[in-house]
Amino acid sequence: MIVDGSKILGPLDWAVYPGERWVVIGPNGSGKSTLVKVASMMLHPTEGTVRVLDGELGRTDLRRLRSRVGSASAALLEQLRPQLTANEIVRCGIHGALEPWWHRYTDAECRWADELLDRVGLPDFGPRRLSGLSSGERQRTLLARTLVNDPEVLLLDEPNAGLDMGGREALIEALDQLAVDGPPTVLITHHVEDIPSTTTHLLALADGRVTARGLIDEVLDADLLSDLFGLDVELTRNDGRWAARAVFGRHRNVSDRIGQAD
């Protein structure tokens, strides 16, 4: 992907298959958000081929394809009116709309929105306005919206950004519960503490290139994080959840690992 003459992402060869739960990590400017924008068909690559489900970008009806992909980001949240209720936000996702008056909704669709809110841990939240929801409740409302069309893949761009510990843990629990019978998921994050225990695979990016990818139990280690973020990092794991902290002293060069995964 080239923007203003600079390559910000690639070369990259990556695939997500049914049953997989991916996390994409990397420092600021590594290309994570660009990657999810391409995967969600909001950006077209300047070179190469992108296939989403059974469609190829540039050779398929994106409106039909987008309805099969659930995506959520901070940018979407910023576009929603504070006066909208949680139920309206979720059911608007049926048509990818930002306002309920753009379409008509059946009683069954309104009930389905409430069921999805309950599924992400927000029972009886349907009538509550966006302005009255906490940051964590807003993110879980967006998560419910991503599920409204029974998507075949979920793309979540930093859903934990700005959440306090309670909001983060509630969202991670919701993601773990969805992993039982939900679609494959791609989660973008900066922090290993945000990785749900049900995550199966990891993709690490730096300077728009892959530094590591594969089964998370095999590729996530202290050396990878140290190289990614230019710090000595200590990594621990407890009950399937990861935690990292810097150990100040020797600094590392992120370029040491770039290309090893390609």
pLDDT digits (tens, 9 = 90+) for 162-188: 888 999 999 999 999 989 888 999 999
Q: Are residues 13 and 79 in the same domain?
A: no
Q: Contact 229/179 with Cβ under 8 angstroms?
A: no
Q: Are residues 28 and 145 in the same domain?
A: no
- Specify the pTM: 0.85
62-66, 137-141, 151-155, 191-195: least confidently modelled range = 62-66
What pLDDT is recorded for position 113?
Answer: 97
What pLDDT is recorded for position 5?
Answer: 55
89 found inside a domain: yes
CATH code assigned at 4: 3.40.50.300
Q: Are residues 42 and 158 in the same domain?
A: yes
The tokens describing 104, both together, are 């008509």
Tell me which residue range forms the domain holding 196. 1-68+153-162+178-262
